[in-house]
Structure 1
Amino acid sequence: MTGPETGGIDPLLGFALVGALGVGSQWLAWRMKLPAIVVMLVAGLAIGPGLGVLDPRGDFGDLMEPMLAIAVAIILFEGGLTLNFQGLRDARLGVRRLIFVGAPLGWIASAAALHWVAGLSWESAAVFGGIMIVTGPTVIAPLLRQARLKHRPAALLQWEAIVNDPVGALAAVLAFEVVSVLADAASLGEAMVDMIVGILAASALGLLGGWGLAQAFKRGKVPEYMKVPVLFVSMLVVFALADSVLHESGLLAVTLMGVWIANAGLPSYEEMRRFKEHATILLVSGVFILLAANMSREMLGSLDWRALAFVASVILLARPLPVLISLIGTNVPWQERLMVAFTGPRGVVLVAVAGLFAQRLVALGFEDAGRIPALAFALVAATVVLHGFTLAPLARALGQTATETPGVVITGGSRWSVALGLALKKLELPVLIADPNRAHLRDAREAGLDTFFGDILSEAAEHRLDLVSYESLIAATDNDAYNTLVATDLATDFGREHIFQLKRARDTSTRHALPATLGGRRLGPDESYWEANARISEGWEFRVSRLTEEFTMKDWREKNPRAEIVADLGPNGTFRLLGPDDTPKEADGVRLVVLAPKREERSEARRDENGNDTLKGAKAE
């Protein structure tokens, strides 16, 4: 392997290196609980301008531009797939204001900051300013989970990110079309005609492609195993055809195509969307590493005081002012308005699209557009690092934190679920019990637990529940098939390591056993719904017990030989549900949630030797 000075790296090794660094950076960020984009930025800069191992422009040559164009097209297509109008109609007034008022104002404010502070021409500022309104769901979601925001500010930020992801890209596309057509055309009239024809043709191709695929899928014209390949190839064909009519209008076409498919009500939509999400993660990682490695030392050196002033103006003015103006007249409290206004992390989509358009603008003769990639990297790095470290303290200062520790969703309102919910509530964890039968939730409501009447898999649950506050889920209804469906469907949202379900009653039978790819992990004693609730009927109960230096795990086991440990909460606030093979923590200050035989009632005012109050249904030891 050689550097650019000796002829560059072999293209095959270069592709492998980019892929390994991209996916490796995301994994390392997950392990270290860091923003993935920061790790990818460091990795890209290290192998590019830092060590000179990879020079994408020189090593990949003419492949670089079409690679970036196709990757950005797929990223925007996936963004269009997330835009479901039904969810938008259900959104509150604040969300609609952020989209229809805040986004245009943010475009104008960002373009002004780019022109007057960063010193770009109005043409370059208009294009880059459009994509700057994108906050990006892949960036904001991990930050929201980390900060544990209350439902409304979290919903405002999350919906804004989901909808503005394709909207910002469309804004940049439209601005670029105007700039490029005006630059190439002989007169303003000719420019307008070319632009209108190109946009109409791209829109028609995108909508026609989406409609055609939806009809083919609904009528069974495409077998199930070929739907994703057909979708992928159709998207590339639409992109290429639209781009041949008007340069870069292909991005507009594939975004509209994705929006149409998202709202077509296809039964295979979830499978297609998840495949596109996986493909997008790979592409986003690769594009970001490539763009970071393609940065020259001279480009990085151009980040002077004006770049710093530009980033500050965006964070302090161009982001907050449009948000605050758009929320005037809504019922959103001022604390939540400030929370949303000063939270605007940018992500990989901004860098990818900005890098692509910067090359196009330079080719059109706008030399100042060469500064756009450096400004994009500076803005992304500054906002992600800033919000990553300040979002939680800001939320606490404004009183917008729902909880310090992630909670648990339990499906099924049985006596077992209520007893476990009370024990978890004793640990001050958010607990939600969901059941489609209102009568099953009566005991939970009387116990003071939060409940949701409805199907946890429904669109109503998706739009109304504050799932950001919950990290784990237990599927515990009396229907094993439904438990398996819930655990399988929500595993991608919570992570399979955080999805549990009660043992299936007939799982030991070869005839009825399901593959390991379906369902969730086993919980604690590994009992079925009927066995678990029978224990509660026999007098067993959930308790909370604290370990200390004087009262160790060994002492606890000697005192409670029949008890089963279900969960533990570390002294640093780390909560874990435990499977049958998991080992509980044994450090000083660890609190255990255990299932044990009922003991003699104590006075409710009395505290035990570990300093815990007793709690009916969830005793403390």
Structure 2
Amino acid sequence: MTHDALQAISLSIALGVFSYIISRAYKIPAIVFYLVCGLVFGPAGLNLIRTEEAIGGGIAPMVEIAVAIILFEGGLSLSVQGFRMEKKAIRRLLFITIPVTGGAAALLSHYLTGIPWLFAIFFGALIVVTGPTVIGSILKSVALTPRLETLLNWESLWGDVIGVMVSALALEVILISKGGVITAGVFAHLILGSFAGCVVGLAGGVLLKHVVAWLEKLKDPTLSGIACFGGAIALFYISGEIVESSGPLAVVVAGMYLSLKCGDAVVGIRHFKEQIASLFISTLFVLLSAFVNPLEILHLWPTMLAVAFILGAIVRPVAVHLALAGSDVTSSERWYIGVIGPRGIVAVATASYAAFLLPGSPYEMKVILNQTMAIIFFSGVMATLLCRPLASLLKVRVPQSQTGILVVGSNFMSREFARLLAQHVPVAFLETRKEACALTTAQGFQTVCADMLSADVYEEASREGFDRLVALTRNNALNELVALRAASHMAPGRVYRGLARRAEETLLTGEDNVAHIAFSDRFFITEAVSQMEKGQAFLTEKEADQLNEGDIPLARINDEGKSVMILREGLEPSGTLICYSRKKKRKTEVHS
């Protein structure tokens, strides 16, 4: 490895990891930092990362691997249940918004930047993607309505797939046009690629499911992630060899199949892939950002910024409203989707890949690369700045009291508490013991059977909308450990731990800033379970003015039963409450 290559890769790794950490800390899409680092350290800035000289054509396979990782991970994250509920709106977003956006982008790039029609069409195809990595960062920073999260997730992933496949077709048309006549067979290629991608992806998903099932018997949680990572890359390659550009569809189909069939094993697979993706993709996109030199076409930047503004501020909202007109999606949700449409990593990957395949068209590809970077930066910054205030303004932000609650620990008291909570907000159980998991499932609760101390579980729960946790095991130390682990993945103030018993030593000393003590420092889980099992106490809903002496309020029901607030010491009980009440002892007469 030459000194230039070692310097470029080493610096890109360091900058990529730094960008990723900052993005997670401040919940800002990482691609914004990748672009800035590439610009500052690339030829337009300090000139310390010279991608083309250091790596050359070797970056093209790296781009393809990155696309495979992103799309496979996205497939693992999709909710099939969400699609069933919103399939009409999702279909409209994909088949109306994408063509309108792509067509407008092609027109704008041809007439404003002056690139030929074939290149303009290629640009229109690649810029339609919003990107699951960018949307994922936004959804982690703001709790939106379930429908809105579903629509944004599905559009971002399948938009990437459609964008990659159609841009590959447009790229093939450009390559053929340079050496011959464009035939109808080029367009039939898209249909054949879709069929091949679905078949290979489904077959690969079935095979990987059996591999994961076998690996789970070895009791090594890392093996499933490694196997699926390798399998995804293999499927991407095999499908692409059968029909060119069908690989993206194959890995998404495989990921969705695993998500549907592998249950809790998907959590470990996704966690492993996220770590790999974080390192590999962050490095690669610093390199790709440094590959673009805006100084070479500085005179076009005012025009390119105008294109970026028109696409984001006019075309995107209009396309979304056209697509969702007449659907059940509210006007506020349409405006949010229309304004929040950040372009992602796959767009710049596709543009960079094309630049390596078309060395004979340097000017056109420089324009496309710079235009892509401008749109990504503009849309990413706008989405980051607007996602939270716009959600509040349009009233599509879910208040904390309406988010799902994850209950840790299955016992008589916690199951009865969850039953009452579930009448108002989503509730799920987290348990480690298989018999406890079976019991809660049999009683109709959504149950996650996994290691309570695994950070993956809380990351996944937060992603599924369970942004609050209450630990109600009969072990103080376990409640505190769970609270410590969950607090790093959930917003401050959303983690509660119950007191298991009186006069028990705790792990946390001093002021507890990690989690609130649930309910009251006079409520002890072991005592409550014992009394409820004996029929001496019960949980019920009652009004605050009906509280009896000894009643302990556990939660307050708000907004006409549509939200719940877990109570803690210092909060004044009011309105309708879920209470722990002891039965009054009957007086008995003693006859002599």
Normalised by the length of structure 1, the TM-score is 0.67
Query: What's 1:373 paired with?
Result: 369
Residue among 404, 422, 425 paired with 1:451: 425
CA distance in 2, matches of 1:523, 1:109: 52
Residues 8 and 55 of structure 1 are in contact (CA less than 8 Å); yes or no, is this contact kept in structure 2?
no
Residues 396 and 47 of structure 1: is their aligned pair in 2 closer, same or farther, counting only changes over 3 Å? same
Please say if residues 131 and 160 of structure 2, whose CA atoms lie closer than 8 Å, have aligned partners that are also in contact: yes
* Structure 1 contact 151–466 (Cα < 8 Å) conserved: no
Q: 2:483, 2:496 within 8 Å by CA — same for their partners in 1? A: yes
The change in CA–CA distance for 1:173 and 1:266 in structure 2 (over 3 A counts) is farther
Q: Is the 8 A contact 2:520 2:569 kept in 1?
A: no
The correspondence for 2:280, drawn from 283, 287, 305, is 283
From 22, 27, 39, the equivalent of 2:21 is: 27
Change beyond 3 A, Cα 1:195–1:332: closer
Q: Counterparts of 1:38-57 in structure 2 under 5 Å? A: 38-49=32-43, 50-57=45-52
Residue 102 (structure 1) shift: 2.8
Tell me the amino acid that sits aligned with residue 341 of structure 1: G
Matches within 5 A, 1:151-550: 151-180=146-175, 188=183, 191=186, 204-218=199-213, 225=220, 226-245=223-242, 247-265=244-262, 268-299=265-296, 301=298, 303-360=300-357, 362-363=358-359, 365=361, 367-403=363-399, 410-411=405-406, 437=416, 440-441=419-420, 450-452=424-426, 455=429, 458=446, 472-476=468-472, 494=490, 501-502=497-498, 523-524=516-517, 531=524
Residue 32 of structure 1 deviates from its aligned partner by 4.6
**Whole-angstrom distance in 2 between the partners of 1:406 and 1:202:** 43
Q: Give the letter aligned to residue 85 of structure 1.
A: V
Contact between 1:148 and 1:468, CA under 8 Å: does it hold in 2? Answer: no
- Per the alignment, do residues 260 and 476 of structure 1 end up closer, same or farther by CA in structure 2, a change over 3 Å counting? same
Seen in structure 2, the aligned counterparts of structure 1 residues 271 and 305 have a Cα distance that, compared at 3 Å, is same
Q: SS where residue 272 of structure 1 aligns?
A: helix
Question: What letter matches 2:11 in structure 1?
Answer: L
Shift in Å, 1:292: 1.2
Q: CA contact under 8 A between 2:143 and 2:397: conserved in structure 1?
A: yes
Query: SS at 1:321's partner residue?
Result: helix
| Identity between Structure 1 and Structure 2 (%) | 28
Between 151-160 and 266-275, the greater mean CA deviation after superposition: 151-160
Distance, in Å, in 2 between the alignment partners of 1:467 and 1:234 is: 25
Distance 1:72 1:476, change over 3 A: same
Q: Which residue of 2 aligns with 1:108?
A: 103
Q: State the secondary structure of the residue aligned to 2:343.
A: coil
Cα pair distance change 1:143/1:71, threshold 3 Å: closer
Shift of 1:324: 0.3
- Are the structure 2 counterparts of residues 263 and 317 from structure 1 closer, same or farther at C-alpha, using a change threshold of 3 Å? same
Aligned residue number for residue 92 of structure 2: 97
Q: Cα distance, 1:260 vs. partner?
A: 3.8
Change (3 A) 1:468 1:118: farther
Conserved 8 A contact 2:470-2:495:
yes
Contact 2:308/2:378, CA 8 A, preserved across alignment: yes
What is residue 74 of structure 1 aligned with on the other side?
Answer: 69
1:318 partner amino acid: V
Q: Is the partner of 2:42 in helix, strand or coil?
A: helix
Change (3 A) 1:372 1:489: farther
How big is the shift at 1:44? 1.6
CA–CA distance in structure 2, aligned partners of residues 340 and 397 of structure 1: 14
- Correspondences of 1:77-156 after superposition (within 5 Å): 77-91=72-86, 93-144=88-139, 146=141, 149-156=144-151
Q: Distance in 1 between matches of 2:52 and 2:15?
A: 18
Offset at 1:310? 0.8
Would you say the 8 A contact 2:404–2:465 is kept in 1?
no
Instruction: Output the CA distance in 2 between the equivalents of 1:116 and 1:406.
Output: 50
Kindly provide the CA deviation profile for residues 99-145 of structure 1, in whole angstroms up to 9, marking residues without a partner as x. Answer: 34333433333333333444333333333323323223332344345
CA contact (8 A) 1:98 1:160 kept: yes
The whole-number CA distance in structure 2 between the counterparts of 1:289 and 1:615 is: 54
Query: CA 1:315/1:212 → structure 2, altered by over 3 Å: closer, same or farther?
Result: same
Distance 2:360 2:249 in 1: 20
Contact between 1:471 and 1:494, CA under 8 Å: does it hold in 2? yes
Stretch deviating more after TM superposition (369-378 or 127-136): 127-136
Q: 31, 44, 51: which is aligned to 1:37?
A: 31
- SS of residue matched to 1:227: helix
Structure 2 residue 60 is matched with structure 1 residue 65? yes
Distance 1:59 1:277 in 2: 27
TM-score (norm. length: structure 2)? 0.69
Partner of 2:538: none
Aligned mates of 1:614, 1:223 — CA distance in 2:
50
Counterpart among 10, 24, 32 of residue 16 in structure 1: 10
2:425 is paired with a residue whose SS is: strand
Do 2:13 and 2:282's aligned partners in 1 also have CA atoms closer than 8 Å? Answer: yes
Letter in 1 for 2:328: N
In 2, distance between residues paired with 1:312 and 1:54? Answer: 29
1:40-64 deviations in Å (ceiling 9; x for gaps): 2222211112101110111223432
Secondary structure (helix, strand or coil) at the match of 1:451 reads coil
Report the CA distance shift for 1:223/1:370 in structure 2 as closer, same or farther (over 3 A).
Answer: farther
Equivalent position amino acid for 1:368 in 2 = E
Name the amino acid aligned to 2:123.
Answer: F
**Distance in 2 (alpha carbons) for counterparts of 1:325 and 1:42:** 34
When residues 207 and 492 of structure 1 are mapped into structure 2, their CA distance, relative to the original with a 3 A threshold, is: farther
1:381, distance to aligned residue in structure 2 (A): 0.9
User: Hey, what's the Cα distance between the residues in 2 that align with 1:529 and 1:327?
Assistant: 52
